[in-house]
Amino acid sequence: MTNQDKQYDENDICPIKNTLSIIGSKWTLLILRDLADGTKRFSQLQKSLQGISPKTLSSRLRELEKEGILTKKVYPEIPPRVEYSLTSRGESLKKILRCLAEWGKEHFNNG
């Protein structure tokens, strides 16, 4: 940010704060990273996110669905099959993920 950027006080709407209220929870960016590659099932996400509990994964997925970031599709099969994919709003977060990946490559690849 530059000196010309507005400083936000607690009564202002801060776009960074608002964005972090949706994607700032632990595991959320990694869930988005996985869904950026395409539709995934719950078990695929859990396997990719080693260390996340099923309860936490379910909670994060519900929060992202509520915010319109992802969609949940339930197939009427036995056992039920559930798939998660990004909405267009979720797709718009890919640019944030790309920037984070680029920064990580630049600062962590050789050290």
User: For the segment 70-82, what is each residue's pLDDT rounded down to a tens digit?
Assistant: 999 999 999 889 9
CA–CA gap between residue 39 and residue 81 (Å, rounded)? 12
Determine the pLDDT at residue 5. Answer: 57
* Prediction pTM value: 0.83
- pLDDT tier at 110, thresholds 50, 70, 90: low
3-state secondary structure of 103: helix
Half-sphere exposure of 91 (CA within 13 A, CB side): 6
Cis peptide before 15 (omega within 30 of 0): no
Residues paired with 86 in a beta bridge? 70
DSSP assigned state of 92: T
> How many whole angstroms separate alpha carbon 95 and alpha carbon 37?
13
pLDDT for 3 equals 46
**Mean residue pLDDT across the chain:** 90
